[in-house]
Every structure is written in C-alpha cells, then in structure tokens.
C-alpha cells in the first residue's frame, strides 16, 4: 500500500506515520515530491490491520498497490528517477547515447572507438569484457584485461563506461574499473546476480529478458532496488517472437508501458533488436519518438572483422550520420543530444 500525505504535510506528521509502520516490522519508503509526500509500505500489510492510518494528522488517503513490485512502482515514486553515471544523467533533458563494440577485442580497438564515438556525440562508452554467448565456442571476452582498457579509455576521453557482468567474480572485478554495471538479457532473472549488483551501489543497466513480460522485468529491477540501490536504468533490447526477419522483435510499446508503470528511466538497444545495421537508424528514431531516455548503439572500427555481432554494428561514419539525423527529432521532443 501507499499512504499519500496531504500537500505540504509537516515532517512531524510524516515521521509519526513512519514510526507506526516500522513498529510493526515493516519498511517505510519515503518519496518526497514538491507538494506531496508518499509513504510506501513494504512487507506484510496485514500487520497494519489494527491501525486506522487515515485518522492521523495530514494523512490524505491510502492506496492499495496490487503489483508485486513496489520500489520500482510509479505509485510509490511519482517523480521520474534520474540516474547519474559519471558526469552523465540518464532520465533528464539529455537523450543519452551509449555506444561502443559488442566485445572489447584489444586495446587499440577500444581506444579508437572511444575517441570516434565521443567526436560523434556519444555520452557513455559501452563494451563487453564478459560475453555470455549462445555457443560455447564463440569469443567469450577478455575479462579483466578488457576492463582495464575501458578504464584507460575513460581516462583518455572522459566518457563514463558500462560493462556487462555475468557472475560475482565479474562484479568484484568490474567495480574497480567501470561506472555502471550491465545485467544482460540472459541474466535478467538471475536473482542472486541482481542482488549482488545492487549491493555495489553502482548504477545498474538492466536489459529485458528474451521472453520476459514487463512485470517480470520490473520485478527483476525490484531485486536491485531492494538492496538499497535506486540507480537502475531499464533497457529494451527486443524480445523473442516467431519473426525471423530481425534478430529479435523490438517492443516499442515497452517504452510508454514502463513510463506508465515505473519511475525508472528506460533506454532502447536497437542494435540487438534488429541484428541488422540497416535497420538501426529507423528503430533509433522510433525509440526516441516513443519517449525513450536514451539509446545503446553498437559501433566498431571494422564490423566485417568484429569477433561479436559485426552484422549489427555501425561504422564510425554511420554512427556519426545517425547522431546527426537524430538531433532535430530530439530537439523537437524538448531534449538535447
């Protein structure tokens, strides 16, 4: 449930309600807006059955929350969340562009890419040091060596860096090098990994699972937030359907659906959705028009030689052309690149 306080409620009234909740062994999540404070109750609400909270000073109303996710729920937190990654804010007035290679292959490849995408207008460098691949024989990533190249790229360019983690060992290594952890689609419901990522306090980029519903995705985010880490960014990257013309089917409707259900920012990965570089621009435009807070686009110095996902990766020139064409649309929607 959520308890909505009256506009401009006094702090002593808010504290009194919180004390009642906590005395019953429940958790009170306080969301203070400009006018109204909302108190979310997490735990077994039946313990409050003997408390008529609506009679207390400055309590406006009590609203039942039927969804299983609470902390990620917009009802608990009406104000949109903004997530800081290094010096970049996701969920604000900037359309944040993450870009880089699917896999970090070597030092020169990553540094060259970092400088090129920054010149073209990207805000965050992405790169895979741990690669959970469908085939056990495919390139699995450089692991900590790759992370060290990402740190070097950040020092040279000033771009914050994000990398996927696949295990507790990977998290323990990555926190020494990156600004944001990514949980990939195949690990979206690896609940142990989600909790460990949440414990780091670093921002977490949570990709939607291949066959996950919106509610399952938000419940996965709940695991991270429940560890005391509210800095979660959702990433729609396409879902598995019967269609074979694209690698996955980009669910554009996920953007407004998330905006209506959750306060968390959402970005879109058109590269993994399409699997075909020729479709990336159109899907990027659609994502921006739908209200996404950012994009994740794969780039590579020479996609024909990429060790991972070459067919969907843009060249540097293609990426620069894309950011240039996105500019007017982003501006029309009241944001900036």
Residue 263 near residue 280 (C-beta atoms within 8 A)? no
Residue 152 φ/ψ, nearest 5 degrees: -65, -40
Strand partners, 125: 99, 161
Task: Find all residues with CB under 8 Å of 240, minimum gap 6, and list them.
Answer: 210, 211, 248, 249
Residue 267 near residue 90 (C-beta atoms within 8 A)? yes
Element (H, E) at 294: strand 294-298
The pLDDT value given to residue 132: 65
Spatial distance between the Cα atoms of 70 and 72, rounded to a whole number of angstroms: 5
What domains can you pick out in the chain, each with its CATH number? Answer: 2-63 (3.30.70.1140), 83-332 (3.20.20.70)
Give 107-149 as a 3 state SS string.
HHHHHHHHHHHHHHCCCEEECCCCCCCCCCCCCCCCCHHHHHH
What tens-digit pLDDT sequence spans the chain (337 residues)? 899 999 989 999 999 999 999 999 998 988 887 788 999 898 888 888 888 888 888 999 998 888 889 999 998 888 999 999 999 999 999 999 999 999 999 999 999 999 999 999 999 999 999 866 566 656 667 889 999 999 999 999 999 999 999 999 999 999 999 999 999 999 999 999 999 999 999 999 999 999 999 999 999 999 999 999 999 999 999 999 999 999 999 999 999 999 999 999 999 999 999 999 999 999 999 999 999 999 999 999 999 999 999 999 999 999 999 999 999 999 999 999 9
pLDDT (tens digit per residue) in 12-57:
999 999 999 999 999 898 888 778 899 989 888 888 888 888 888 8
The pLDDT value given to residue 240: 96
Residue 38 near residue 78 (C-beta atoms within 8 A)? yes
């Amino acid at each position: 449930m959520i308890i909505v306080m009256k506009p401009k409620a006094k702090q002593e009234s808010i504290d009194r309600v919180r004390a009642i909740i906590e005395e019953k062994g429940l958790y009170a999540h306080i969301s203070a807006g400009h006018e109204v404070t909302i108190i979310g109750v997490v735990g077994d609400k039946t313990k409050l059955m003997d408390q008529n909270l609506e009679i207390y000073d400055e309590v406006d109303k009590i609203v039942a929350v039927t969804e299983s996710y609470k902390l990620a729920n917009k009802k608990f937190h009406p104000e949109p969340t903004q997530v800081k990654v290094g010096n970049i804010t996701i969920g604000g007035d900037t359309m944040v562009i993450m870009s880089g290679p699917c896999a970090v292959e070597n030092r020169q490849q990553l540094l060259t890419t970092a400088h090129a995408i920054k010149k073209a207008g990207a805000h965050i460098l992405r790169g895979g040091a741990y690669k959970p691949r469908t085939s056990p024989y495919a390139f699995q990533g450089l692991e900590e060596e790759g992370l060290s190249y990402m740190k070097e790229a950040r020092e040279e360019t000033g771009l914050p860096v994000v990398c996927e983690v696949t295990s507790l060992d990977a998290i323990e290594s990555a926190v020494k090098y990156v600004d944001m952890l990514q949980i990939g689609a195949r690990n979206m419901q690896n609940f142990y990994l989600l909790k460990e990522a949440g414990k780091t306090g670093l921002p977490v980029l949570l990709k939607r699972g291949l066959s996950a519903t919106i509610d399952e995705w938000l419940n996965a985010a709940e695991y991270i937030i429940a560890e005391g880490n509210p800095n979660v960014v959702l990433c729609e990257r396409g879902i598995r359907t019967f269609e074979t013309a694209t690698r996955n089917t980009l669910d554009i409707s996920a953007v407004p659906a998330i905006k209506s259900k959750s306060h968390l920012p959402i970005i879109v990965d058109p590269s993994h959705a399409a699997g075909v570089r020729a479709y990336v621009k159109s899907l990027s435009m659609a994502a921006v028009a739908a209200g996404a807070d950012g994009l994740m686009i794969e780039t590579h110095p020479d996609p024909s030689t990429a060790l991972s996902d070459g067919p969907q990766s843009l060249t540097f020139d293609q990426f620069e052309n894309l950011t240039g064409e996105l500019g007017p649309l982003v501006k029309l929607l009241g944001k900036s690149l």
